[in-house]
Amino acid sequence: MGEADSAAFLSSPLATALAGLFGALWGSFFNVCIDRVPRGESVVRPGSRCESCGTPIRAADNLPILSYLFLGGRCRTCRAPFSSRHPVVELCAALLAAAIWWKFVAADPTEASSIRLARFALYFTFAGVLLVLSFIDLATQLLPDVITLPAIPILFLSAFGAHGPSWLERLIGAAAGYLFFRIIADFYYYVLKREGLGLGDGKLLAVIGAVLGWKALPFVVFVGAFGGALISLPIALWTRRRDGATTARKPLRHLQVPFGPFLALAALAYLFIGQALLQRWLGLG
């Protein structure tokens, strides 16, 4: 296959569909990480198994999304229910992979294939990290160092092949992302004498800055904070009303809401449309 044929295939709908299938397969691994990393378990061994009866899951029963539907969301052996989170994560991974391929690989057939593929590898890995951290944060209100700390240098170095923001913009982004949340956390702890934002959020923002550069950080923080308030405050008010007077007396400022998923969504929004929006707002494009 020549360069012209390769470029044409990369821009075809079939290639985008195959990218979605690739993402769904990785979604199964993302589920393993979401389940095991908070428990400090290996994500490699043992293989996938039912958590109720311990029976290893056969390859035919481990097809992304489809197996969950065919088995009715239950273990074939003991009929214990599987979490509905599994097909949701696999579907999200599939849609993200297809969208990233469509935007960064298929959209510009004139660019060198190697650069487009490097960009897909970087941005899909980045999206996978955000997806895993978001679901872990929703379940545990933790952003594990075992994911965030290695992701910062790995994604920073990988971005050299993607021809995105310069290395200096990404280096400043990684440092500024962490320091922003560190300053807020220290202010809460030393001045207000209580826990505020966790440092895990700062490490997540450092991951985002290491890929998207420092120019993305104001957009990510603002959109993440706005989205978090827009969604979490109505939920918090509804929860207080549902749980009764005892919970209602608890001030809203003491309610704990995971911020990681909102930062992740804002980072993905910037990846796909944020730069174009900023250029339009600033009159640069």
pLDDT digits over 114-158, tens only? 899 999 999 999 999 999 999 999 999 999 999 999 999 999 999
Higher pLDDT, 276 or 46: 46
For residues 6-35, average pLDDT: 93
* Whole-number pLDDT of residue 218: 92
For residues 26-32, average pLDDT: 95
Residue 239 has pLDDT above 70, yes or no: no
Q: Which single residue is written with the structure tokens 């990988």?
A: 158
Q: Residues 183, 196: contact at Cβ < 8 Å?
A: no
* Whole-number pLDDT of residue 132: 98
Residue 247 pLDDT level (bands cut at 50, 70, 90): very low
Per the prediction, the chain carries an average pLDDT of 86
Partners of 49 in beta bridges: 56
Taking 3-state DSSP, the helix, strand and coil percentages for the chain, each rounded to the nearest 5, stand at 75, 0, 25
* Whole-number pLDDT of residue 55: 83
* Whole-number pLDDT of residue 189: 62
Residue 1 has pLDDT above 70, yes or no: no
How many percent of the chain have pLDDT more than 70?
84
Residue 223 has pLDDT above 80, yes or no: yes
For residue 166, count other CB atoms closer than 10 A to its CB.
12
For residues 37-50, average pLDDT: 88
Segments making up each domain of the chain, as ranges:
1-98, 112-285
* Whole-number pLDDT of residue 232: 73
How many percent of the chain have pLDDT more than 90?
55
Cα–Cα distance for residue pair 93/25, rounded to 1 Å = 8
Cα–Cα distance for residue pair 68/110, rounded to 1 Å = 40
For residues 241-246, average pLDDT: 59
For residue 22, count other CB atoms closer than 10 A to its CB.
17
Q: Residues 208, 220: contact at Cβ < 8 Å?
A: yes
For residues 64-77, average pLDDT: 89
Lowest mean pLDDT segment, chosen from 11-15, 171-175, 256-260, 280-284: 280-284
Residue 248 has pLDDT above 50, yes or no: no
Q: Residues 151, 209: contact at Cβ < 8 Å?
A: no
Residue 104 has pLDDT above 90, yes or no: yes
